[in-house]
Structure 1
Amino acid sequence: MGDENYFYTDEAHDVLISLSEVVHQMERVAQGDKHCWKWVVIAMASAINGALTCHLSGNIQVGALTKIDARATIDALQDHNHDELPKKPKLANPRELFVRARREDKRLEPAGCILTLSSVQKRAFDKLFELRNSFSHFEPRGWGIEVSGMPSIMLNLLNIIEQIYDDCWAFRHLSDNDYEDFNRLLGALNKQLTK
């Protein structure tokens, strides 16, 4: 099997890919397709979850894992027993990542700065994942979603990603070209969401 059968990514590049999808779906929304808000929500949830993962992952890469998997990883590394490393470590849920990003006493390892977020940004985060969960775990029902407040919600979430980006920890391994892409995407989204 050749490389044409695979694509390669990591958590930092996935944030870029997710933000690119948010831009693409916002263009479709601007053209009048309100159903594309679903894909904006899903892509933004992916972007912010990835950004939090990068922001919380320190030198031993356990800051975004579940507490059980982080502890097991640390114990295995301290004991020099790589056979005891978790086989499939799990990421903590988005809510837990959000709490850890804001509270030093909840951190599992040193990493990015403690985020300072407004109550509006916290509500935007909660709304995003409420919507994402509804879209991802679809029940056989119909419902209406008010979209008039969506640009404001997305802008508040984008501001969280920008705070993570500006801290220079989460995306420290990206190339100069990736940083250019990141800046272009952040600029495009700011423009789209403040029209």
Structure 2
Amino acid sequence: MALHSALQGACVCHLTTTAAPVGAVTERNAGEWLTYFEDSRTDSNAKPPKTHLMGLPDLLKAVRNPYSARDRSNTVGIAISESELNWLLRFHEEIRNQFAHFEPMGWSIDVSGIPEIAKLVARIIGDILRTGWAFRHQDSAQREAMQRSLHALETIEWPT
């Protein structure tokens, strides 16, 4: 769950424009927010809409696009191969969603894929960090500490 949340959060930060939360919300919700921003210029009683973030599958697809960082500085998207994307989508649907939206059932938890998912998530977040936009409000010491933590997660030797 923590890996899923970290990846989702990094994607949201990467995609969000200066008109937050636009960029990381559904297309319909982005329209609602833009209308609200325009209306609020002349109507002090305008109410902001609820935020409807894209789900992780759509966020991952969006960060792969060229110029996906909302300062449009990245000419290529965040590198996530089709097989990695499919693996992360299975992780989202079959693991995360079963824990978050559980049904009464017997559980047997297979953790054998967690080290590889952790390494992949650390690499993707590291790529987002290096792109610069998502974590622009952190100072250099915070970004360096984050990079060290991600590198440690990406290169850790997990017990077998």
TM-score w.r.t. structure 1 length? 0.67
Q: CA deviation at 1:57?
A: 0.7
Task: Give 5+ residue unaligned stretches, structure 1.
Answer: 1-41
Matched, 1:126 2:122: no
Matched, 1:47 2:47: no
- Report the CA distance shift for 1:193/1:122 in structure 2 as closer, same or farther (over 3 A): farther
% identical aligned pairs? 32
Task: Give 5+ residue unaligned stretches, structure 2.
Answer: none
Distance 2:119 2:131 in 1: 18
From 61, 65, 76, the equivalent of 1:103 is: 65
Question: Which 10-residue stretch deviates more, 183-192 or 169-178?
Answer: 183-192
Q: CA deviation at 1:181?
A: 2.5
Distance 1:123 1:142 in 2: 26
Distance 2:85 2:156 in 1: 22
Q: CA deviation at 1:111?
A: 4.7
Alignment of structure 1 residues 112-191 onto 2, 5 Å: 113=74, 114-130=77-93, 131-191=95-155
- Report the CA distance shift for 1:168/1:74 in structure 2 as closer, same or farther (over 3 A): same
Amino acid in structure 1 at the alignment position of 2:80: L
Q: Which residue of structure 2 aligns with residue 70 of structure 1?
A: 30
Distance 1:43 1:126 in 2: 16
Amino acid in structure 1 at the alignment position of 2:24: A
Distance 1:88 1:77 in 2: 13
- Report the CA distance shift for 1:149/1:76 in structure 2 as closer, same or farther (over 3 A): closer
Relative to its length, the structure with more helix (as a share) is: 1
- Report the CA distance shift for 1:111/1:54 in structure 2 as closer, same or farther (over 3 A): farther
TM-score w.r.t. structure 2 length? 0.79
Residue deviations 1:116-138, cap 9 Å, x none?
A: 31123212311321211111112
From 33, 52, 58, the equivalent of 2:17 is: 58
Alignment of structure 1 residues 24-35 onto 2, 5 Å: none
Question: Which 10-residue stretch deviates more, 144-153 or 129-138?
Answer: 144-153
- Report the CA distance shift for 1:44/1:191 in structure 2 as closer, same or farther (over 3 A): same
